[in-house]
Structure 1
């Protein structure tokens, strides 16, 4: 083993140790990294900011955890795509919230449902119910699900709908009403954005009369130039405080710009 008689760079050694801890954990809080590395929090923060500026790590909005900025070798290709999507979305969602104040989520498709993979609700000016990363969202009744279904490829849509028709979950029952589903998809395409079903209150299976988070939402797809839907971003607001028409007028254009910026970064990265 090569053992040169020169001093090591202590700061670099610490930085690499922190980077290794972030990559090994897949995402950790400042406290968690403090416990893993034994470094003082003030030192850790300086290292983390440096690593973040180099795009070697990124800070998730939803819980403040520091996550790897590159794909770990053992992860699947799709997992790597989703990680990059969340990484690129985080600063864009920050900018969007600064502009419109209302919070936003990023959701990806997993099977025949949508899954939350980033959110800025914790940073919101408004008191909004916070859903955790990994929270499962109904495909047919949610704004993000409708946006995904409307703008994904025909082949992918048929595969999703077939799976929903096989599902025994009460929240997927709408899939058996072919006319309603077709009208929903056509309406979403015509508008350019998805909206919540009137009976949807945030719970996957139960209706708004049973579970009501008192929120409304509209969503647009994050699409590549070739028509691939990476995921969907939404805006959520408190029921009754604003109408859908008001939110569309005030927030749709910034939301669409945000989705386009995320898509551009994904496409530029290959």
Structure 2
């Protein structure tokens, strides 16, 4: 006897509830101090549904309630991602980020290109007393509007850059019209100085200083330092942190080359 196919899965309430629950978890990750009403708005679900889902998640141990604080994520949410296997060079990069983060205190992000955007792969915000951002991992950034994206565009091949820039704005998450002449000038400057900066923009109240990570002559990612824009000016950030960022990026690059060039073991 063949196993019967599940019913009411593809288009029923089960799938809709799962989608809403995942959006709610994402909202809690991004906005840990938000109220239930705010979480419902972020997840684009009714407030009553948010309450029901939060109670279900609490019964499963993924969230907790605290007097005066509402609902908060628990460490159990980490079990949802522990099985994810990242690119081989990401884990050594993470260890370098933790080391540098302890030294400079400001939070760091590691971003790589994906589908015409820059995606935050790792971030040390939770370990930094100076962080004002939460839930950054997995967030997609428009390449032309952040330092990491402009760095990638500066060092990728002209053909790849042309294809990325030809993507529709909605697909590439671009919200600001691109002046190609100014962009080309900025990309040329990045190739000379080896870094780029951002103040405000897609992530309000913060600034960033980014440097490239290479595998030989191919850019594979960007290491960025995130600072509170109102507390430091860009010139001071560059003067104080350009060197340690580039040194760390160089170590990550060397390890990436070693790992990517190593022959895979056949068992």
Matched, 1:107 2:97: no
**How far is 1:116 from its partner?**
0.6
- Which of 178, 183, 191 is the aligned partner of 2:180? 178
Structure 2 CA distance for partners of 1:154 and 1:64, relative to 1, 3 Å: farther
**How far is 1:201 from its partner?**
3.7
Matches within 5 A, 1:219-238: 219-225=210-216, 227-238=217-228
**How far is 1:139 from its partner?**
0.6
Structure 2 CA distance for partners of 1:85 and 1:199, relative to 1, 3 Å: same
* Aligned mates of 1:220, 1:146 — CA distance in 2: 10
* Aligned mates of 1:90, 1:246 — CA distance in 2: 25
**How far is 1:65 from its partner?**
8.3
Match of 1:250 in 2: 240
- Which of 144, 147, 151 is the aligned partner of 1:140? 144
- Which of 252, 262, 265 is the aligned partner of 1:262? 252
Structure 2 CA distance for partners of 1:64 and 1:145, relative to 1, 3 Å: farther
Matches within 5 A, 1:211-226: 212=204, 214-225=205-216
* Aligned mates of 2:100, 2:214 — CA distance in 1: 18
Given that residues 174 and 181 in structure 1 are in contact (C-alpha distance below 8 angstroms), is that contact kept between their aligned partners in structure 2?
no
Given that residues 190 and 196 in structure 2 are in contact (C-alpha distance below 8 angstroms), is that contact kept between their aligned partners in structure 1?
yes
Match of 2:201 in 1: 200
* Aligned mates of 2:131, 2:252 — CA distance in 1: 26
**How far is 1:67 from its partner?**
4.6
Residues paired across the two proteins, number? 183
Given that residues 144 and 220 in structure 1 are in contact (C-alpha distance below 8 angstroms), is that contact kept between their aligned partners in structure 2?
yes
* Aligned mates of 1:108, 1:263 — CA distance in 2: 13
**How far is 1:157 from its partner?**
1.4
Given that residues 105 and 118 in structure 1 are in contact (C-alpha distance below 8 angstroms), is that contact kept between their aligned partners in structure 2?
yes
* Aligned mates of 2:177, 2:189 — CA distance in 1: 16
State TM-score, norm by structure 2. Answer: 0.62
* Aligned mates of 1:144, 1:64 — CA distance in 2: 29
After superposition, what is the alpha-carbon deviation per residue over 1:69-118, rounded to whole angstroms, capped at 9, x for unaligned? 9x6xxxxxxxxxx5223212111001111221111000010011100110
Matches within 5 A, 1:123-138: 123-138=127-142
Match of 2:14 in 1: none
State TM-score, norm by structure 1. Answer: 0.62
**How far is 1:159 from its partner?**
1.6
| Runs of at least 4 residues off by over 2 Å | 63-69, 166-175
Q: Provide the aligned C-alpha RMSD in A.
A: 2.4
Matches within 5 A, 1:1-270: 67=82, 83-163=87-167, 166-168=168-170, 171-175=174-178, 177-196=179-198, 198=199, 200-202=201-203, 212=204, 214-225=205-216, 227-269=217-259, 270=261
For structure 2, the 5+ residue unaligned runs are 1-59, 61-77, 262-267
Structure 2 CA distance for partners of 1:64 and 1:262, relative to 1, 3 Å: farther
